[in-house]
Amino acid sequence: MTTVKRKGYLIILIFTVLVSLLAGCSQSEDKAADNNQAEPTVNTADEDQPQESEDQQKPQEAQKQVTLTMINWADDESWEKDWKKPVESKFPNIKLERYNIMPTEKDLEELFAAKKLPDLYFAHMGHKTALEKQEVLYDMSDLIETRNYDIDRFNPGLIDRVKVESGGGIDFLPFIVDRYALHYNKDIFDKFGVPYPQDGITYNDIVDLAKKVTGEIGGVKYYGLQWGWDSFNTMSQHIPVIDPDTKEPTFLTDDRWKSFFEVVKQVYEIPGNLPPREKYREYIYSRFVDERNVAMLPLWFNGGQLSDAKMNWDMVNYPTWDENPGKVPGGLAYFLGVTSFSEHKDEAFQVIDYLLSDEYTIQRYQGKDISSLVLQSPEVRQQIKPDPKFEGVNYEALFKMDFHPNRTQVEEDLFGKTVIEHMEDMIYDHVDINTHLRKLDEMARTLIKELENS
């Protein structure tokens, strides 16, 4: 295996024992399953089809027969229909097999102990640390350059994230993206006689708006704005936890942390907007969809559930911070890569090229929810007819903003849980923000020291 050379690797080796997945990971996996089960629909417009690469134009007898193995945990039906069959139909010289595991550290160790070395992998950002520690990642920059592969096809915010996580290289390419939106219940706004939110909304805007749709009508209490307790990381992902220069925690030195916590407190201090403590960690969609007493919900997009519930809802862009105009959370969720130990790297990259091609993307998303689309091509989107259940919904709100730079996966693994678990104390025990920040700083320093000495 090739030794992985990238910034911060020592920290990763020390800290991976405390990996906790990012907020919204479980929801992202649901989204991944939906994409795996997309029904392919052939696009017959030849003029819209991408040109075949040189490898695809070679006579089949001149192409060597290879068997590629891939880490992929899709169910058997989805694996055959959405991965194996399309690839083998496109490339008769390639046989695609799989190791049906998730790329966790434990599963990877067991796989390698059995002398099984895959050529490709499908993974979530929460798996990135384990892939790095097990030396699976491979910088595909040379393959990209040799094949003249156009990475500008992707949303630029996604490629920026890839390069940060890859230490400047390209260890993987985006396959599924998370997008967030501010969902709102139109009926509640109508009850209070308040105009609906508009695209371009900021955090300062929603604090004022939440005050206008919080209160009691007809014996029912309505909450103007609520967050899922596990979504606070999403709000704060634009703030690094560790200063890249000093390697110190940033809770006391970066003013954005204080601004973040001030918004949270302001919203929950609106009279009547603080939910009972026992509901704080409830699944937030249950309150929004089932109880229907929450006016606004900033969270990952799950319009399918909302539409299925026959709810009178719509959405606008996820709120933006004044210091990051036009930037919202979300971004890279699942990705594809060639392994460092593959003996068929060219063919493996050829498979990735196809799975991310305009041609296959159009097939994969036809008639489905396209919120997880990674390509920024307007032409591709025009050839995809989204699920009709989203007709009449401001679906474009998902695509109007770019993604702000997230802190690294290492920082999320280390500190994400620390940040969100102590929000409850600040909210319900009325801990002031400065005390809260000092507590987080102290905990972060203690954690770093203990791990460095372990």
pLDDT in tens, 254-268: 999 999 999 999 999
Task: Tell me how far apart the terminal alpha carbons of the chain are, to the nearest angstrom.
Answer: 27
pTM: 0.81
Distance from C-alpha of 60 to C-alpha of 52, rounded to nearest angstrom: 14
Residues 218-228 have a mean pLDDT of 93
CB 141 within 8 A of CB 149: no
In this structure, what DSSP letter does residue 84 have? Answer: I
Residues 218-237 have a mean pLDDT of 84
CB 296 within 8 A of CB 148: no
Q: What are phi and psi of 339, to 5 degrees?
A: -80, 160
CA proximity to 397, closest of 292, 324, 319: 319
Distance from C-alpha of 162 to C-alpha of 171, rounded to nearest angstrom: 7
pLDDT at 77 exceeding the cut of 50: yes
Longest pairwise C-alpha distance within the chain: 76
Share above pLDDT 90 across residues of the chain, in percent, rounded to a whole number: 57
Whose tokens are 């949270």? That residue is 264
Is beta strand 402-403 parallel, antiparallel or unpaired with respect to 215-217? unpaired
Q: What are phi and psi of 124, to 5 degrees?
A: -100, 155
pLDDT at 431 exceeding the cut of 50: yes
pLDDT score for 10: 34
Looking at mean pLDDT, say which of 69-78, 253-262, 284-293, 406-415 comes out highest: 69-78
pLDDT at 60 exceeding the cut of 80: no
Distance from C-alpha of 24 to C-alpha of 16, rounded to nearest angstrom: 19
- Residue 215's pLDDT band, with cuts at 50, 70 and 90, is very high
pLDDT in tens, 88-144: 999 999 999 999 999 999 999 999 999 999 999 999 999 999 999 999 999 999 999
Distance from C-alpha of 403 to C-alpha of 327, rounded to nearest angstrom: 5
Distance from C-alpha of 172 to C-alpha of 352, rounded to nearest angstrom: 10
pLDDT score for 425: 86
pLDDT score for 156: 85
More confident position, 421 or 255:
255
pLDDT in tens, 397-406: 999 988 887 7
Give the amino acid at 82: D
pLDDT in tens, 268-314: 999 999 999 988 888 888 889 999 999 999 988 877 777 777 889 99
pLDDT score for 310: 82
pLDDT at 52 exceeding the cut of 80: no
**What is the per-residue DSSP string for 354-411?**
HHTSHHHHHHHHTTS--TT--B--HHHHHT----GGGTTS-GGGGTSSEEPPPPPHHH
Distance from C-alpha of 406 to C-alpha of 164, rounded to nearest angstrom: 9
Token digits for 246?
Answer: 């000093």
CA proximity to 172, closest of 140, 126, 212: 140
Average pLDDT along the chain: 84
Residues 423-442 have a mean pLDDT of 91
CB 50 within 8 A of CB 357: yes
Distance from C-alpha of 209 to C-alpha of 205, rounded to nearest angstrom: 6
pLDDT score for 296: 96
Give the amino acid at 267: V
